[in-house]
Structure 1
Amino acid sequence: MPAEYKGVVPETEHARETDLGFARIDIDRARRTGDPEVVFGEGKTPEQVVATLRALHRAHPDRAVLATRLSDEARELCRRELSGAAVDDVGRTAVLGPPPAPKGSVAVVSAGTCDLPVVLECVATVRAFGSRAEVVGDVGVAGLHRLLAQRERIAGCHVVVAVAGMEAALPSVLGGLIGLPLIAVPTSVGYGWHLDGLTAWLAVLNSCAPGVVSVNVDNGFGAGVAAARIARCAGPGAV
């Protein structure tokens, strides 16, 4: 790792940011919003990812800090350089530090195994942001009995994230089965001309089931943040 990324430049006068030279880390964000800044790995070198995670961990030593969309090389360097980091090759995430005590629970429900990268990005986010994630996988509507068999388990959570590609019917079906906050994540999965997830996204936006809201295509992170914050308000110990 280059020497200039080994240390951390001292914080600004008001201790609201840490200047790494290539990035200004918002170390005040946890105070303002309740959650630390998250590292978006795309476009960053492996060394920059590690340096940023290290700076965030230094600012928040008692709770988890998260990096998403990490390349193979960045994940490997995280394993070597950051002791104790939990690295997920499928979800392309790294978490450094202890997660907060969970408040509330989020059911992360996926239509198929091919949605797993988005699912695991969401799961890592939910846990880093202080809620419990319950994964219910491979229950797409082509085998509706599989979903119905998991209905009570899903309904036992405080929030549902529904991850689905192709025609993205899963969020609408869930919206007709349960009365929980439901966040849809359309994915860029499907045969033929699925327009990189646009087909799934438009289907979700036009859902007949009331109460279904959506994040952008493949945005497991965004869904995880929203779901965890809702669950924290609903779960035991919420104010």
Structure 2
Amino acid sequence: MSNVGATLLPVLGGFFFLYFCHYTRFYVRRLRGYALFFLSACVGFGLVSGSYLVCEFVQAYVPALFQAWEQFAPANDGHAGTFIGSFLLSIALLGLNVTTSEDEQSRKVVQDEGNDLEYLLNDSLERAKLVLVVLRDRQVYVGFVTSNVDPNSKKEYARILKVASGYRTPETRHVRITTRYTNVLREISEHGDGPKHVRLDDLNVVIPADHISAVSYFNTGIEHLFDEKVPSVSDNSDGEDFLSPGQ
């Protein structure tokens, strides 16, 4: 193995570990260019040091295994064995993934480094709180967040389980609710599916993050958001809540 090829292995191992380890993958995928290369090189240096220590330990305490390793990477071939070992060590360290999940680390990244949109959507997802989403074309959705913007994906979108939908008037900027899905949601909850075999997934809407104009928590008591000519979500003849039966 050439010296150039061998010395690139630690950097490659560092990148491989950072990219696939649950603890780091969501952070590094927000990095670009030289920042990612420099971090990979730093991790690669640590892998080389670890590989060297492992080789020294095996040579001292498991000589038979060390001799077998020398057949694969002769000691007289520079430090190729140590460099190859650093890449293998990066693979072995991926065993850390069993101690956590992608979803757990994804939420942690949003809490630590996410923008306000990601944080609000994540909080709504964890606390099962209604949100009001206004799109750039003035379309409006009220619902529960079922999937947040994924820090691991270049496609930034959120998924909302619709409870109601409508639009924002261009003149007054008030919100008009035109469709409510509470009856369908109730039937699905009670019978497993809704009218015409509508399933819960059928009420999900996928919204690209760059199409969102505004997001807020939705409180069924904020009547001032709605046009006076349209009943607000808490204003109905029976005085029932927006999510209660009968709507």
Do the structures match in fold with TM over 0.5?
A: no
TM-score by length of 2: 0.27
- Identify the structure with the greater helix proportion: 2
Structure of larger gyration radius: 2
